[in-house]
Amino acid sequence: MARRPPVLSLALPSETGRVLSIQSHTVHGYVGNKSAVFPLQLLGYDVDPINSVQFSNHTVYPTFKGQVLNGDQLWDLIEGLAANDLLYYTHLLTGYIGSASFLSTVLKVVNRLRSINPNLVYVCDPVMGDEGKLYVPQDLVSPFREKVVPVASMLTPNQFDVELLTGMRITSEKDGLEACNILHAAGPTKVVITSMVIDDKLHLIGSHQKEKGQAPEQFKIVVPKIPAYFTGTGDLMTALLLGWSNKYPDDLGRAAELAISSLQAVLRRTVADYKKAGFDPQTSSLEIRLVQSQEDIRNPPIEYKSEKFN
């Protein structure tokens, strides 16, 4: 019987890692895995995507068609990987999760992956809503807070997500730092609040607790608001944070500088290209120009610097 060839991403592992990314997928456009997989590959990662939904396009369009993966179907894919000894991952990445049953299976996946690699880094974007509007059923908030937060290695919530996870109203940098401390106490060593609006400016707040019980290293990055609405930016930002924080494991501030500088370059190019095509970018949600921004993803010039709080 012929010997089965090795899985090269396992036999000759990269210096970066092997990521299992469980997120949504659109045939057209860039959200979920379409926003996350390509940038991570550009940064040198092997990425295996599982598509939690497969839609024709994102849901801001007038119509969309497609299928939703349920928890049993997700577990079936995990069992298929396991049967072929393919379940060794260095990272798990999750984004939007639309049902309690799917979330429950994701938690089973975390446990299964950690039984194979106890050092698995779980990067979770706890997508629940934005600007005061809930995107997920109300009954998902509690499981996120009580079950997902404790097993995550890094969380990348937005301002509204943080308020749901902590029960706090976030209106200042001080509130953001306190919320990070609450989340550290619950589990994750790294927390990045990816967008907080304070005085009409966008603030990113980062916090890294290197040892339990130790005061975390905390910082902020202030970026200008681009007057347009984009889809897929949160998914891209979380992927970039995974990519750069793994390259700079002890310097979350540096990783966040690289990630936000990449993201801003992508968004500026997107706005410029829509204007070039004769479209006013403030009138509709925009598909990001990911493929056209490869160099900004691989080698972003750092334009936004982190400011330490302590």
Structure tokens given for 290: 């990911």
CA distance linking residue 251 with residue 259, whole number of Å: 13
Work out the number of other CB atoms within 10 angstroms of the CB of residue 309.
Answer: 16
Work out the number of other CB atoms within 10 angstroms of the CB of residue 188.
Answer: 25
Antiparallel, parallel or unpaired: β 46-55 and 66-68: antiparallel
Candidates 125, 161, 235, 296; catalytic one: 235
Clarify whether 235 is annotated catalytic. yes
CA distance linking residue 208 with residue 117, whole number of Å: 22
Active site residues: 235
